Amino acid sequence: MLGRGLKRKLSDYEENMAGLSSAFDSSRSLPYPLKRQLVLNMCLTKLQTYKMLVEPNLHRSVLIANTVRQIQEEMRQESNQQPVTICPGIAPASHSYTGLESPGIALQLPSGVGQQESHCCDLRSAEDPIENSLLIVSDDDMSSAISSILKDLDFVEDISPPTCLVPTGDDQPKFPENTGLKLEDDRQDLKGAECVFGSFEISNSTSYLKDLAIDDIFEDIDTSMYDSDFCCPPLMPPRSPSLATEEPLKTFPSCNSSSANNIQICRTDLSELDHIMEILVGS
Amino acid sequence: LQVPVLRPMDLMVEATPRRVFANAHTYHINSISVNSDYETYMSADDLRINLWNFEITNQSFNIVDIKPANMEELTEVITAAEFHPHHCNTFVYSSSKGTIRLCDMRTAALCDRHAKFFEEPEDPSNRSFFSEIISSISDVKFSHSGRYIMTRDYLTVKVWDLNMENRPIETYQVHDYLRSKLCSLYENDCIFDKFECVWNGSDSVIMTGSYNNFFRMFDRNTKRDVTLEASRENSKPRAILKPRKVCVGGKRRKDEISVDSLDFSKKILHTAWHPSENIIAVAATNNLYIFQDKVN
């Protein structure tokens, strides 16, 4: 890490990141995907940190969000050129996670300033192709059904309502709750209202996902690196979009790896999901 | 009954606000600029620019608003704004994407459409993950003549001719040796430091700050540049400042400083140049330095 030219031991996460960024700067042999992943991690960590601030910096958040979007766009374009590769335990450095013909988890991530709110989703999509692989291989019929459902619907990251931010009227920058960065091509049309953070909940109609033993799927994912302050909030019913712009900035809830077993998925059109499930299961 | 007696005291300086112009900004204010009519001024935040009359504190006109209807579409913010030194209807504002817009208030009440748009095409050979971040303009200043504008981004200072929108006429590297350290500078947030830049009275020299208490001056005519240090440890009062040099790689000469020894906590963000004399003010951490030309 640049500073006063002193050597320090790498003893905790922060110093690990400093070591990594130094490695990024100095090493020519670091493979490009790894460098890109490192930058993406740093961006997401920063966005998470900024969200915790009482007065988040809009300028920085926008710059970082643009950087994340640019990286993910690049990854997406690369994956579109790749054939399907399905093998569990792929190292995060490979970007085959998006190279699935019937994409696993079609995650919708926030664009613009709301980027930080999708941190959880982002992490898994960016970090763990394993989860997608596991989804694919765990149960062929069910997984392909889920794949197509997830592909057709807009999945939006959700978080529970803010816990500690106190907006002070006009002084607070108004961040969006809506999330819109799309990993997949076919996610242009947000069905119905855009997802408002903290407004989705697992309803009864999603019980088929519970039947899937989601815990098993996510068990192997190592999210210890992102253990800090994350938790996966419950999904709640969508609020109307007119409320979205009035909402104050929401903090990102804390998350730990055990609760990472819950699915971070919102569906914007639950009735359509019901309908599709009836077709698949009813026969 | 005692007659009041005048007693000499030490000078006490107390700053009190004479007027407060409140409640017009929702986001962080980054610039204020007094108009050449000396009756109005503008204030700019991340998304809006407001025009004020000095005498009216409870009302302002919004002259620029780039807030999108849907905040998730936001990809660009306003970073700095300034009025033209002579034309009271003209101002410029810079953005986080490295662009400058020149606006004329006579064309519309809300200056959403720019009269001119300054942007340099990106150099593909310098492309990196951090390209957009380092292109964000931290300061924009009209020359005293009003013919040029100068912009500061993370690594360079650029001079633009108002009549040429597609690229700057001059580009000066402030500390290009940091280009290979961008990831570390991103990690410690230094990459977001907002450096200012200033013109001298005759618009022949420009000055901006850097790290390690260094500041840089560029002579636009001779194309010479110098790096100086504002620090008490390394110079005595009234001593002539010794030029500094940062060593990029290879052998380090005796007086040179290597990039890895630079102290990134000692940053000079704010400098000022007297409008007609060769006297400069440099803010270094919690010290203010005033330098002047050698007095014979």
pLDDT at position B255 is 82
Provide φ and ψ at B190, rounded to 5°.
-65, -25
Distance from CA of A269 to the nearest CA of B (A): 20
> For the sheet containing B29-34, what is the strand order?
B29-34, B40-45, B48-53, B56-65
Predicted confidence pLDDT, tens digits, chain A (283 residues): 555 665 655 455 566 666 777 888 877 778 888 899 999 999 999 988 888 888 889 999 999 999 999 999 999 998 888 765 544 444 444 433 333 333 333 333 334 343 333 343 334 443 444 333 333 223 344 334 333 333 333 223 333 333 333 333 444 444 443 333 333 333 333 222 232 222 222 233 344 444 445 455 555 555 556 555 444 444 444 444 444 343 343 433 343 444 433 434 444 456 777 777 777 776 5
Distance CA B170, CA A46 (A): 34
The reply to whether residue B258 touches residue A5, judged by beta carbons under 8 angstroms, is yes
pTM, two decimals, is 0.65
Distance CA B190, CA B267 (A): 9
Nearest to B76 among A17, A62, A114 (CB): A62
User: Quick one: tokens of B203?
Assistant: 């618009």
Distance CA A273, CA A155 (A): 12
Candidates A184, A183, A216; CA nearest to A88 is: A216
Distance from CA of A175 to the nearest CA of B (A): 7
Contacts of B75 in chain A (CB under 8 A): 62, 65-66, 111-112
* B66 touching chain A per CB within 8 A: no
Rounded (10°) angle between helices A270-282 and A140-152: 150
Nearest to A112 among B25, B73, B133 (CB): B73
Q: Are A117 and A51 in contact (CB under 8 A)?
A: yes
pLDDT at position B15 is 93
Candidates B264, B215, B265; CA nearest to B241 is: B215
Cα distance from N-terminal residue to C-terminal residue, chain B: 58
Q: How many contacts (CB atoms, under 8 Å) link A and B?
A: 126
Would you tell me how many other CB atoms lie within 10 Å of the CB of residue A14? 13
Distance CA B211, CA B229 (A): 9
Using alpha carbons, list the distances in angstroms from residue B230 to B176, B207, B258, B288, B296: 20, 13, 18, 9, 22
Low-confidence stretches of chain B (pLDDT < 50) are: none
pLDDT at position B137 is 98
pLDDT at position B230 is 95
Contacts of A247 in chain B (CB under 8 A): none
The reply to whether residue B77 touches residue A59, judged by beta carbons under 8 angstroms, is yes
- With H, G, I as helix, E, B as strand and everything else as coil, classify residue A89: coil
Using alpha carbons, list the distances in angstroms from residue A77 to A39, A84, A96, A99, A199: 18, 14, 12, 10, 31
Q: Are B94 and B79 in contact (CB under 8 A)?
A: yes
DSSP string across B123-164: -GGG--TTHHHHHS--EEEE-TTSSEEEEE-SSEEEEEETT-
pLDDT at position B184 is 94
Distance CA B255, CA B235 (A): 14
pLDDT at position A226 is 56
Contacts of A171 in chain B (CB under 8 A): 26
Q: Are B117 and B177 in contact (CB under 8 A)?
A: no
Distance CA B50, CA B44 (A): 6
Distance CA B66, CA B96 (A): 12
Contacts of A4 in chain B (CB under 8 A): 261, 263
The reply to whether residue A25 touches residue B76, judged by beta carbons under 8 angstroms, is no
* B177 touching chain A per CB within 8 A: no
Q: Are A191 and A272 in contact (CB under 8 A)?
A: yes
The reply to whether residue A178 touches residue B72, judged by beta carbons under 8 angstroms, is yes
Distance CA B1, CA B48 (A): 60
pLDDT at position A85 is 53
Contacts of A110 in chain B (CB under 8 A): 72
